[in-house]
Amino acid sequence: MQTKLKPIELSNMRYRLGYHVSAKSGWINDPNGFIFFKGYYHIFYQHHPYSAEWGPMHWGHARSKDLVHWETLPIALTPGDTEDKDGCFSGSAVIKDGKMYLIYTGHHYYEGDSDPEHFWQNQNLAISEDGIHFEKYENNPIIASAPEDNTQHFRDPKVWYNNGSWYMILGSQSSVDELGRVLTYKSKNLIDWDYLGPITKSNDLKTEGFMWECPDFFRLGDKDVLLMSPEGIEEDEFRFRNENETGYMTGNFSYDSNRFDHSNFQELDSGHDFYATQTTLAPDGRRLVIGWMDMWGSVMPEQEDGWAGALTFPRELTLKNDKLYMNPVSELKKLRTGEVISDSFEINGFKKLDYNGNHYEAEINFDNADKSGITLTTDNEELLKITYSKDNSHVVLKRPGKDGIREAVIMPAKTLKFHLLVDTSSVELFVNDGEATFTERLYTEDKVSLNLLSQGKVSYDIYQLEKNAVKY
């Protein structure tokens, strides 16, 4: 593909988000390199600055002192060197000896071959003293090629430190059965890596997929968690309805045997637009996660306006009974402008609230969970409806059009709590303290009303949020 060397310009601001990270202009996908370094949280993202479409991947970059006010920094990694000729694909960041190290995948096509599936991948390092300027390591690559029993899919390194050594987990596909798996490597210095083998693999294409993208591995509570984004899983009743899914397995990892004994794969978010997560450990011990707030194959109307893609609001992960819960980080409160509307009343069916914000947070408590929920409507259209039914204990999300339904099962609930984050073109819903979540992009230029559905008492607080929380 021919790229122009001038970043694309924004032509319309209608869908630009107020407090979610996106690019100054151009395309973004996966979050990368989420880390706390010298007083700032850093987040990077897969980025193509020259069009609103996926293209040769750069690493875009933003930083924040508080996880909610972000400052865009210069592009951190640009592809085109021998080791990353056709793209700097996803990866992670660690801190060593006071420097930030980015570990990322170099993407390569074969000369004269235009089939996008014909590629090879290696792993590389870039280093920064100040967290702004990055130098690629002079002896890249650090891992030159995939193991012999691997296909071309060999990417998305996530690195962590344990007991005197660095470990890397990589997304991969076995060439023996063409199923997804994750591989580990070990190093003393981040430069020389020993291959340890797969820690676990997909058992079956339909239920566990053919390639495990963006793996992440961490200890949470008394379990090890493998979080990843498999490609190829088939829809199963109400589950796995997106093109690809992000989900996890919990279990126990043995550093001695490089084995991970684990539960089945479970989806992490039940919405249409959530993928390719990246976690980090905050200085206070919280496990934080950010995802790409879009999905391969989704229609992205903002492409017409010179940009595409955004990151989710940062969330805290917790583990309860082997299940991951996600909630917005508590720093969200810092975005509240002071304008708040609170009320409480009995509803018999439906109530339209006299509120039309574009950037807000709503905490809604339904005393009677059954058939309770919300809708978001314009004067002539229902854009989104999310309700709980006690018959099957499902929370169901409906948006108009083809493939509009998404569902999550929760524990049978008598009362229901919705924590809703609305931004110009996104909605994130956290149900019952993070037991289920739905992440959605939502596009309209009309005024949107919030409506409540219930039979019983409902109380709510709606907080207006800042709308210029990201500086471009």
CA angle 464, 466, 471 (to 5 degrees): 165
Residue number with CB closer to ligand FRU (180 or 434): 180
Residue number with CB closer to ligand FRU (141 or 251): 141
Residue 217 phi, psi dihedral angles, 5° rounding: -140, 125
Nearest distance in Å: CB 156, ligand FRU: 5
Interface with ligand FRU, residue 276, by CB under 6 A: yes
Q: Which of 334, 293, 287 is nearest to 66 (CA)?
A: 334
Q: How far is CA 266 from the centre of its chain?
A: 15
Interface with ligand FRU, residue 29, by CB under 6 A: yes
* Pairing mode of beta strands 470-471, 70-77: parallel
Q: Which of 22, 25, 90, 202 is close enough to bind ligand FRU by CB under 6 A?
A: 90
In whole angstroms, give the CA distance from residue 194 to residue 72.
36
Interface with ligand FRU, residue 269, by CB under 6 A: no
For the chain, the helix, strand and coil percentages under 3-state DSSP, each to the nearest 5: 5, 55, 40
Give every CB contact of residue 3 below 8 A, 6+ residues apart in sequence. Answer: 50, 51, 55, 56
The yes-or-no answer on residue 30 being catalytic is yes
Mask 97-116, x = binds ligand FRU (CB under 6 A)? --------x-----------
Which positions from 305 through 364 interact with ligand FRU, judged by CB under 6 A? none
User: What is the number of other CB atoms lying within 10 angstroms of the CB of residue 138?
Assistant: 7
Which positions from 151 through 170 interact with ligand FRU, judged by CB under 6 A? 155-156
Residue number with CB closer to ligand FRU (232 or 357): 232
Residue number with CB closer to ligand FRU (32 or 424): 32
Q: Which of 214, 289, 311, 465 is close enough to bind ligand FRU by CB under 6 A?
A: 214
Q: Establish whether the linkage from the previous residue to 230 is cis, with ω within 30° of 0.
A: no
Task: Characterize 294-304 residue by residue with b for buried, 16 or more Cβ atoms within 10 angstroms of its Cβ, and e for exposed.
Answer: bbeeeebebee
Q: Which of 83, 84, 86, 213 is close enough to bind ligand FRU by CB under 6 A?
A: 213
Residue number with CB closer to ligand FRU (27 or 438): 27
Catalytic residues: 30
Chain residues binding ligand FRU by CB under 6 A are 29-30, 46, 57, 89-90, 105, 155-156, 213-214, 275-276
